[in-house]
Amino acid sequence: MGNYSFHDLAVGMISRKGYQFTAKRINAFSELVDDAAPVHTNPEFAKQLGFDNTIAHGLFVQSVISGMLGTDIPGPQSVINSLTMNMHLPVLAGQQVDYHIEITSLTAAVSAVSLKYSGTANGKLVISGKALCSFPKHISD
Amino acid sequence: MMKQKIFDQLTPIFQEVLDEPSLVLTETLSAAAVDGWDSLKHITLIVEIEALTGLVLSADELINIQNVGDFVNLLYNRGYRG
């Protein structure tokens, strides 16, 4: 786990993580957020829609990024200001997504960190986006 | 005229960040007058303004920013001409 201050960070720093989207985890996420959409929980229904298995919620796939931002870079002393998300392919139950985060710029005046992220499954891009994080001493509201 | 060019370049940034597509920037426009111009959005504005101008601003320069006119004057005084 990183525990960086803003001044420890540098453009180009990266973080990587693999996460397995098991059916058990997808079902748990469905229950947690009260999302009963059957494409996430019912394999037969998912197959009727043309998927080989149930698919993970897009926000579940993105949520791993939240954890990486909060525990590695920028780390526990930062908060997320904004996240964008582009979904490229569905993530099927049983697939592993390999995530990659990279710092793209630093704005020292407001201790802000801009990052880009991506996730691949079987070598194919499934999610990408950008994040803006900051160190809360600048958050007054 | 130079400052007007900076206003013109800042306008789409403020509109996008503050989610106010019809926002018109004036010298006196300040955070108090725009719903949603909170401290988090202010950080995003600074990040986007640095990206636009290529300038690296300091906390000391930003501490006295009260309105859009102050932003424009700061950029102009730092040599940015749009």
Nearest residue in A to B43, CA atom: A110
Give the Cα separation of A130 and B64 in Å (integer): 30
Q: What is the pLDDT of residues B24-76, one digit of tens each?
A: 999 999 999 999 899 899 999 999 999 999 999 999 999 889 999 999 999 99
**Residue type at A33 in one-letter notation:** V
Which pLDDT belongs to residue A141?
Answer: 46
In this complex, do A107 and B47 lie within 8 Å of one another by their Cβ atoms?
A: yes
Give the Cα separation of B14 and B16 in Å (integer): 5
Distance from CA of A22 to the nearest CA of B (A): 35
- For the domain B2-77, what is the CATH code? 1.10.1200.10
What are the structural domains of chain A?
6-135 (3.10.129.10)
CA distances from A22 to A25, A37, A66 (A): 5, 17, 19
In this complex, do B46 and A109 lie within 8 Å of one another by their Cβ atoms?
A: yes
Q: Is the dihedral of CA B73, B74, B79, B81 positive or negative?
A: negative
Which pLDDT belongs to residue A139?
Answer: 52
Nearest residue in A to B48, CA atom: A107
Q: What share of chain B is helix, strand, coil (3-state, %, to 5)?
A: 60, 0, 40
Which pLDDT belongs to residue A140?
Answer: 45
Return per-residue pLDDT of chain A as tens, 141 residues. 778 999 999 999 999 999 999 999 999 999 999 998 999 999 999 999 999 999 999 999 999 999 999 999 999 999 999 999 999 999 999 999 999 999 999 999 999 999 999 999 999 999 999 999 999 875 544
Distance from CA of A9 to the nearest CA of B (A): 16
Structure tokens at A15: 């973080």
Nearest to A133 by CA among A1, A48, A28, A6: A6
